Structure 1
Amino acid sequence: MISIIIPVFNEEEKLPVLLQHLARVSSGFVSEIIVVDGGSTDATARVCKYQPGVIYLNSPKGRAVQMNTGAKIAKSEILYFLHADSFPPERFDSLIVNEFKKGNKAGCFQMKFDKDHWWLSLMGFFTKFNHISCRGGDQSLFVSRRLFEQLSGFDESYLVYEDNEFIKRLYDLGQFTVIKSWITTSARLYEKLGVWNTQRLFIEIYWKRRFGASAEELYSHYYKRISS
C-alpha cells in the first residue's frame, strides 16, 4: 500500500482539485493521504476537513521538514511525495506498486507542464531519461520506507532544492527508476516570473549547488530572485 504525502502552503485552490483527481485516478493501493501544512493563512485546512482518507497535519514551514513530518506518521511500505500542483497519471498507484514488485525501490514519473510552450515541452521531454540532471520535485517521488529511513529522509537545512538533494543520494545508491507515464504539473512559477527568468533561476541554483554552495546560499539566491 501507498501513503501519499503532500506538503502545502496556501493551496486552497490547487489542493481540492488534486484530491479529487487522486480519488478519480487511483486504483485501490492508496491507504492514506497526508497533507502537511507549513502554516497556511488561507482556507487550506478547511479544504482537508471533510475529505475522506485525508490526514491533516501542521508543521514548521519548509518542504523538507513538512515531508519528513508526514513520513514519520505514514503507515504504508511505500511513501509517495507529491506537490499540490502536480497531477499523477491514471492508475498511478498500480504503476508504482508494479515497479516496487520489480525491485525498484525509488523513482518518479515522466513530467509535462500544463502550459503550451516549446521550451517547457522540451524540458518535459528530457524527463524520460534516467539521469540525475533530468530530475526535479515536480515529477513526484516514490520511495520505500526502509530506503527513506536508511537515508535519514530529507535534509531539513534545505529550504529549496530539497528534492534534488535527496534524489542525488538515491542515485548514488543506484536506486532510481523513471516510470514511463506522464505526470502533469503546473507552470505557475514560469507564468509568474516568465519562462526564461525561471529557467535561468533553476540553472543558477543547479550550478551553485554543483560548485558547493550551502543550503543557506541556495535559499538566499532563490528568495532574492523571487522577490525581485
Structure 2
Amino acid sequence: MTVSILIPTYNESKSIQKTVEGIIEGKGDQVIEILILDSVNSTDNLKETLAAYEVRYIKTPCNSRSSQMNYGANLAKGDILFFVHADTILPKNYVSEITKVLQFAQLGCFRAIIESKNVLLKINSFFTRLNFLWCRGGDQTLFLKKADFLELGGFDEQYVIMEDYDFLRRAQAKFKFGISKKSVIVSARKYEKNGFWRIQLANFAAMRAFLKDNATPQQIKENYTKALNLDY
C-alpha cells in the first residue's frame, strides 16, 4: 500500500520545516508524495521555504481546511491518505504504525503528546488514547484508504471548523476506528498564547454547539476565533 501525506496550511512557513523534515526522515518507500495544500489566502513565503525539500507544493483555490484537504485528496496518488497538521511531529516508524492499525480498523489516528511540561496539558495528552469523539482532533492526524475516504464523501466543506469531528462522526457510524499506541508531538503554541483554561472554554463551547447543532459552522468559527488569539 502506498501513502500520500496531506498537509493543509495557512501562513505556516515558520512552523512547517520541522514537521516536513521528520516526515521525510521516516517516510521509507511507501510514502510516495507529500502534498502541501496551501490556502489561497496565505500571504507568507511557504513555497520558497520548502523549495529545498522533496514535497509537492500546491496553492489551492480554497480557504478552509476541509476544502483544502478535499482538494488534495482528489489529487493524491496513494492508496492511503494521511492527513497531518503543519506543526505536528510524527513518530519515526509512522508508516508501519499506520499499516498495523489498518489491519484491524478502516481508519485511525495517533495518540498525541502536547509539547509542554504543563501538568494540565499532560492530562490532556493522556485522553488522546481514549476512543471518544471529544478526545479527537485533527492535530492527532487521520489516516484511511482513499477509497473509503471517497465513499464517505470526504470532508463536508460547510464545516469551516470542526470538519474532523464531523468526518469522524460519519466514518465511525460505518467503519471501525483504531488508535495507534504511538504518539505524535503537537505544538503547544495555541496554549502558550492563550492559556489552558481559555482554550478549554473555547473548545467546550465549540464542541457543545457542534453536538447540539444549534449554530452554523461559520458561527462556531466566528465565536472560536473571537475567544482566542490565533495569529496563524
TM class, shorter-length? over 0.9
Aligned to 2:72: 70
Aligned to 2:181: 180
1:227 Cα deviation from its structure 2 partner: 5.7
Residue type of the alignment partner of 1:215: P
Aligned to 1:44: 46
Aligned to 2:227: 225
CA distance in 1, matches of 2:17, 2:136: 26
Residue type of the alignment partner of 2:216: S
Q: Does 1:23 align with 2:24?
A: yes
Aligned to 2:129: 128
Aligned to 2:142: 141
3-state SS, counterpart of residue 49 of structure 1: coil
Percent identity for Structure 1 against Structure 2: 32
Provide, for residues 79-109 of structure 1, a one-character-per-residue CA deviation record: whole Å limited to 9, x for no partner: 0000001111111011112222x14221000
3-state SS, counterpart of residue 72 of structure 1: helix
CA distance in 1, matches of 2:150, 2:104: 17
3-state SS, counterpart of residue 50 of structure 2: helix
Q: Judge which range, 133-142 or 91-100, deviates more.
A: 91-100
Q: Does 1:168 align with 2:166?
A: no
Residue type of the alignment partner of 1:14: S
Residue type of the alignment partner of 2:92: E
Q: Is the Cα contact below 8 Å between 1:28 and 1:93 reproduced in 2? A: no
3-state SS, counterpart of residue 199 of structure 1: helix
Provide, for residues 36-76 of structure 1, a one-character-per-residue CA deviation record: whole Å limited to 9, x for no partner: 00032112111222322x11111221100110111010001
Aligned to 2:8: 7
TM-score between the two structures when normalised by the length of structure 2: 0.93
Q: Is the Cα contact below 8 Å between 2:161 and 2:218 reproduced in 1? A: no
Q: Is the Cα contact below 8 Å between 2:193 and 2:229 reproduced in 1? A: no
Q: Judge which range, 41-50 or 61-70, deviates more.
A: 41-50
CA distance in 2, matches of 1:103, 1:122: 28
Residue type of the alignment partner of 2:19: L
CA distance in 1, matches of 2:149, 2:175: 14
Aligned to 1:106: 107
CA distance in 2, matches of 1:40, 1:109: 28
TM-score between the two structures when normalised by the length of structure 1: 0.95
Runs of 5+ unmatched residues, structure 2: none
3-state SS, counterpart of residue 127 of structure 1: helix
Quickly say closer, same or farther: Cα 1:227–1:89, change in 2 above 3 A: closer
Aligned to 2:158: 157
Aligned to 1:197: 198
**Aligned-pair RMSD on alpha carbons?**
1.4
1:112 Cα deviation from its structure 2 partner: 0.7
3-state SS, counterpart of residue 142 of structure 1: strand
3-state SS, counterpart of residue 129 of structure 2: coil
1:178 Cα deviation from its structure 2 partner: 0.3
**Runs of 4 or more above 6 Å deviation:** none
Runs of 5+ unmatched residues, structure 1: none
1:29 Cα deviation from its structure 2 partner: 1.7
Residue type of the alignment partner of 2:141: S
1:2 Cα deviation from its structure 2 partner: 0.5
Q: When the two structures are aligned, how many residues end up with a matched partner?
A: 226
CA distance in 2, matches of 1:227, 1:30: 35
